[in-house]
A and B are shown apart, each in its own frame.
Chain A
Amino acid sequence: MSADRIMERLPPRPGEWLDRDREIAFAFEGRCHNGFAGDTIASALAADGVSLLSRSFKYRRPRGALTMAGQDANTLVQLPGEPNTLADMRGIEPGMAAFGQNYDGSLEADRGRWVEWLGRFMPVGFYYKAFYKPFGAWRRWEPFIRRKAGLGVIDTEALHAYHDKAYGFCDVAVIGGGPAGLAAAAQAAEAGAEVLLIEEGARLGGSLTYARFDPEGARASREAEALIGAVEGADRIEVMTEAVCNGWFADHFLPVIRGNRLYKIRAKQVVVATGSMEQPIVFRGNDTPGVMMGSAAQRLIRRHAVRPGRRAVVATANGDGYGVALDLIDSEVAVLAVLDLREDPPACPRSDALRARGVPVLAGHTPWEAWAGPDHRLAGLQVAGITGQGTARPGERILCDLLCVSVGYTPAAHIACHAGAMLRYDPALGMLALAECPDGIHPAGSAAGAFDLDAAIAQGRLAGWNAARTAGFEGAAEPPAPGDLGAEQVSHPWPIFPHPKGKDFVDFDEDLQVKDIRNAVAEGYEDIELLKRFSTAGMGPSQGRHTAANLARLAAEAAGRDLAEMGATTVRPPYTAESFGILAGRGFEPERRSAMHHRHIEADAQMMLAGLWQRPAFYGSERDREECIEAEAMAVRTGVGLIDVSTLGGLEIRGPDAAEFLNRMYTFAYAKQAVGRARYVLMCGPSGAVIDDGVACRFHDNHFYVTATTGGVEGVYRQMLWFNAQWRLDVDVTNVTAAYAGVNIAGPSSRAVLAPLCPDLDLSAEAFPYMGVRVGTVAGIPARLLRVGFVGELGYEIHVPASYGEALWDALMDAGEAAGILPFGVEAQRLLRLEKGHIIIGQDTDGETTPQEADMVWALARKKPFYVGERALRIQAARPLKRKLIGFAMASPRDAAPAESHLVIRDGTITGRVTSAAFSPILGKVIGLAYVAPAQAEPGTRFTIRSHGGRMALAEVVSLPHYDPDNARQEG
């Protein structure tokens, strides 16, 4: 098969990007091809004479390379597990298997081509009009349209790739490594700034690596050598190649993608030297493979040593097109004619050189129609003499396989536009130009209208100097201002020649023709943004890079409006497509572990997440879940259990105003709390809703140690500091959560287990009563001991410096061995506290729960001048209660425990919901907490819960606590 292939590879040439020693075999459409390291998929295929790369998204038209710069959707190909890959940017790899996109059967003989025939019945806005009536029709059409339209295919079985993120900082970020960017980077570094130079291509140089600036074609490499040499010799320049700056975000935050890594760069100043994008001519068949930008042909020749065709025509409206023609001739391509769209082209050194080589130049001519041969490649052109704006008289036909187009540019000013700059049509230049660049953004080079090479370099130097100076590096002398920018002679004001038979594409991504744009305007979509959305012009993968200027021209003409006022559509990030992997890869999700974490793992704990903390849910295998939880709970009720409570929040409140501060932050009264005692704390927000609880331990007149919930402590700490920023009380608040490890040893045997470890403390009920706090040692470890009863048994919370956590755990487990001590987890604790009717903030309360609703009026001090939420609670108290949190038991012993948020239903309406429910082994029934209507809140009242599967289950209100109603066990 390969023998009859035309080989288009040119002999080795200086400056080419290929490593001819490394041949790489890959496959396209199931056929084997060879290329060299440094080839892209598209360039290697072009070298093998393959120009058909994919098909268009809507009409399935054959498409080939257009820009060779990753700026068009023509070259989107499918790789295994990776759709929509830019074939003109992605380097070939050994064994790579690529396919075209948007076809059925084979790329060369697509069975879906009939869609184009249907095109005449699919006017602009077709989707909006056709598929939404009658109501519901879209649902039937959508699967078909999605199947026909979907670009590449996502492989849901694809292997996970590794993506990550990195961070970087610089004084000046220079985006674009062409002549202006190189000059800017060198200048900024010379001034003393740390510079990051970001280049999309594999090598530095930009247009210097492909364009021809002089008749001899010698200047580019000379300038490149000097500019790149200066950058590589500088100390303060970091160069990133094959890196795409994909956007600009506030305060110069730049996402830069290189391979599978997303760099988040913070710059002080940004130089935008991103160049410009060559623009197409709109004419019939302008999407035929073989019609490409002049710069695309030059990229193929100079970077990849590929002859882009055999018989070429060049259509131009500037000096660059003559440079293209000279490059083609030097690559042994027959240049049959140069069509210059200008009526009277001014002489320039490159056009003089071309004429000297005997190439016919047809002034005032344009391509009028292109057609393809059986291989879908360009076979010939009809040219036409231009008679007016957009009109021409068809003339001779030329048989050719390559048409290079070089008739104008649009600034690649995305990054500047993200920052707030605008693209406006400049009638004097006949092109879109950058306007209103915001502070901190320094445009340079052809992005800023400097098309002359000397001017681009000078403008780059000035931009680099300005950026460095603004970033605080003022040493260097100001470089001279650029001379004539050369922007007047590069863009033709009207490269649009509508054909009576259409297929004159304005937007290649979306297959939009001239008539589509005109029809959309005729329907009233005159505003450029509305026109874009209705016609979908510029909404494809290339985001209007080759559409924006011609769209504005056509819209202004059709609407009879001034082109300068038409503007261009808003440019938003991202600049190029970014994969989900880049966005999702390796997020920073820290997890917190207590000091006893490894002991839990050794004890086969099933861990669960509580906020950021890892906590044991229960100990044992998932299979025995219920049995394990029950055994742990029974150990606490009948013997002794040990739970890790290190995750509880801890706050130190110190200072002369400590008690006054607590009085204001919490609902209870603390001024008269005795040293050595703990007191419940309940915090409300300014609206009166319950937001946290815990206990306050007074260790000194001026010192409280306050606990807070695991998930709430950060917010509580922040609230405390916020209020005291206003109150200015003499108090110091410190969050010591991470500084302490803690356990709760609970159960009737807890005192007996603990006492031998505490020689310096009297643990007797008289000396250390319920709600007492002590400072002492436990197994020689300095500790704070709190006699509190969350689980409703005799128990001690022991808080020690975090570094002693594991030692404390070991000492207590050893001491309790004879008494049958069991570690217990969060699940058993939840059951135990439910038996006691203790609420968990956030589970049994929501964002609106008031102390009245939660039956906690007992925790509200009545005589304090102020506490947070007090004024709102007074308003609430004067109003009828809406709901009440009550304890309940299921009426039938056969009823399963309802789940959280199962609804309480009365007479068909919702009156409340379950917040906690579980089977209590010690009580032998299902108990729970639920919100009910106030009228349902009396103990003994029966109500229905819509339980699992919608079954209505009967429950009865019971008074709390469910277990040990007079609290004899915990207070004993």
Chain B
Amino acid sequence: MKLMPCPLNGPRNITEFACAGEVKVMPDPAKASDGDWGGYVFLRENAAGVVREWWCHTPTAFWFIAERNTLTDEILRTYPASELFKDRVEFAARDEDGT
């Protein structure tokens, strides 16, 4: 069984983790077209090579980011999400007729 080096809990069996797929930038919901939003929700790059993925250590519910080579299944680096998401995210007010 593979080991995942968790930035919080150290190396643990991979069965303790859930992968939530590629790290993607959420498009601005106020501006994105229906097609863009559908792509954000449903489509994946599925790249062959080094990808950045969300992983969660489920017993502690700790989310972090792993850089993994999908060709070799080698985990190159893991780090807390705060390295990538540094700032508070705000959403612009919606138009009244938005719904």
B89 A249 Cβ-Cβ under 8 A: no
B residues 28-53 near A (Cβ < 8 Å) are 29-30, 32, 34, 37-38, 40-42
B1 A687 Cβ-Cβ under 8 A: no
Q: List 8 A-B contacts (CB under 8 A).
A: A253-B2, A266-B3, A664-B91, A687-B42, A718-B56, A721-B56, A730-B88, A875-B38
In the assembled complex, the Cα of A865 lies from the Cα of B92 at a distance in Å of 6
Mask: chain B, 37-77; 1 = CB below 8 Å from A; 0 = not: 11011100000000000101010011100000000010000
Q: Which residue of A lies closest to B27 (CB)?
A: A871
- Per CB-CB distance, the 4 closest pairs between chain A and chain B, nearest first, are A866-B91, A865-B91, A725-B81, A250-B2
CB distance from B74 to the nearest CB of A (A): 10
A728 B99 Cβ-Cβ under 8 A: no
Looking at A23-31, A698-706, A819-827, A856-864, the stretch in contact with chain B turns out to be A856-864
List chain A residues, Cβ under 8 A from B58. Answer: 714, 718
B-side interface residues toward A, CB under 8 Å?
1-3, 14, 18, 20, 26, 29-30, 32, 34, 37-38, 40-42, 54, 56, 58, 61-63, 73, 81-82, 85-89, 91-94, 96, 98-99
> Contacting B93 at CB < 8 Å: which of A250, A735, A865?
A865
CB distance from A717 to the nearest CB of B (A): 6
CB distance from A14 to the nearest CB of B (A): 44
In the assembled complex, the Cα of A687 lies from the Cα of B54 at a distance in Å of 18
In the assembled complex, the Cα of A666 lies from the Cα of B99 at a distance in Å of 16
* A251-B54 contact given A863-B94, A863-B96, A872-B37, CB 8 Å threshold: no
CB distance from B50 to the nearest CB of A (A): 18
In the assembled complex, the Cα of A150 lies from the Cα of B86 at a distance in Å of 63
A-side interface residues toward B, CB under 8 Å?
249-251, 253, 264, 266, 664, 686-687, 714, 717-718, 721-722, 725-730, 735, 860, 862-866, 870-872, 874-875, 877
In the assembled complex, the Cα of A714 lies from the Cα of B61 at a distance in Å of 9
In the assembled complex, the Cα of A597 lies from the Cα of B4 at a distance in Å of 37
CB distance from B60 to the nearest CB of A (A): 10
B37 A871 Cβ-Cβ under 8 A: yes
A735 B61 Cβ-Cβ under 8 A: yes
In the assembled complex, the Cα of A264 lies from the Cα of B29 at a distance in Å of 48
> Contacting A860 at CB < 8 Å: which of B81, B96, B99?
B99
Q: Which residue of B lies closest to A874 (CB)?
A: B99
In the assembled complex, the Cα of A363 lies from the Cα of B82 at a distance in Å of 75
> Contacting A726 at CB < 8 Å: which of B2, B40, B85, B93?
B85
**17 further A-B pairs in the complex, CB-CB below 8 A; given A865-B94, A870-B29:** A249-B2, A250-B1, A250-B2, A251-B1, A686-B41, A687-B41, A714-B58, A721-B56, A721-B62, A725-B81, A726-B26, A726-B81, A729-B88, A735-B61, A862-B98, A871-B32, A872-B41
In the assembled complex, the Cα of A266 lies from the Cα of B14 at a distance in Å of 13
In the assembled complex, the Cα of A875 lies from the Cα of B42 at a distance in Å of 14
In the assembled complex, the Cα of A874 lies from the Cα of B33 at a distance in Å of 11
CB distance from B54 to the nearest CB of A (A): 7
A727 B89 Cβ-Cβ under 8 A: yes
A722 B54 Cβ-Cβ under 8 A: yes
* A877-B99 contact given A253-B1, A725-B63, CB 8 Å threshold: yes
List chain B residues, Cβ under 8 A from A718. Answer: 18, 56, 58, 61
In the assembled complex, the Cα of A123 lies from the Cα of B98 at a distance in Å of 74
A864 B94 Cβ-Cβ under 8 A: yes
CB distance from A199 to the nearest CB of B (A): 24
In the assembled complex, the Cα of A725 lies from the Cα of B81 at a distance in Å of 6
A722 B99 Cβ-Cβ under 8 A: no
CB distance from A777 to the nearest CB of B (A): 32
Q: Which residue of A lies closest to B63 (CB)?
A: A725
List chain A residues, Cβ under 8 A from B30. Answer: 865
B85 A728 Cβ-Cβ under 8 A: yes
CB distance from A866 to the nearest CB of B (A): 4
Q: Which residue of B lies closest to A255 (CB)?
A: B1
In the assembled complex, the Cα of A687 lies from the Cα of B98 at a distance in Å of 18
List chain B residues, Cβ under 8 A from A877. Answer: 99
A251 B3 Cβ-Cβ under 8 A: yes
List chain A residues, Cβ under 8 A from B34. Answer: 875
List chain A residues, Cβ under 8 A from B61. Answer: 717-718, 721, 735
List chain A residues, Cβ under 8 A from B99. Answer: 860, 862, 874, 877
Q: Which residue of B lies closest to A730 (CB)?
A: B88
In the assembled complex, the Cα of A970 lies from the Cα of B57 at a distance in Å of 42
List chain A residues, Cβ under 8 A from B37. Answer: 871-872, 875
List chain A residues, Cβ under 8 A from B92. Answer: 865
In the assembled complex, the Cα of A874 lies from the Cα of B40 at a distance in Å of 15
B29 A728 Cβ-Cβ under 8 A: no
A871 B29 Cβ-Cβ under 8 A: yes
B96 A725 Cβ-Cβ under 8 A: no
> Contacting B88 at CB < 8 Å: which of A722, A728, A872?
A728
Q: Which residue of A lies closest to B1 (CB)?
A: A253
A722 B56 Cβ-Cβ under 8 A: yes
In the assembled complex, the Cα of A250 lies from the Cα of B15 at a distance in Å of 12
Q: Which residue of B lies closest to A727 (CB)?
A: B89
In the assembled complex, the Cα of A514 lies from the Cα of B88 at a distance in Å of 73
In the assembled complex, the Cα of A714 lies from the Cα of B38 at a distance in Å of 26
CB distance from A716 to the nearest CB of B (A): 11
CB distance from A255 to the nearest CB of B (A): 10
CB distance from A872 to the nearest CB of B (A): 6
Q: Which residue of B lies closest to A253 (CB)?
A: B1
> Contacting B86 at CB < 8 Å: which of A687, A728, A875?
A728
Q: Which residue of A lies closest to B65 (CB)?
A: A725
Q: Which residue of A lies closest to B20 (CB)?
A: A722
A722 B63 Cβ-Cβ under 8 A: yes
List chain B residues, Cβ under 8 A from A714. Answer: 58
CB distance from A340 to the nearest CB of B (A): 47
CB distance from A778 to the nearest CB of B (A): 31
CB distance from B10 to the nearest CB of A (A): 13
* A726-B41 contact given A718-B58, A874-B99, A877-B99, CB 8 Å threshold: no
List chain A residues, Cβ under 8 A from B93. Answer: 865
List chain B residues, Cβ under 8 A from A728. Answer: 82, 85-89
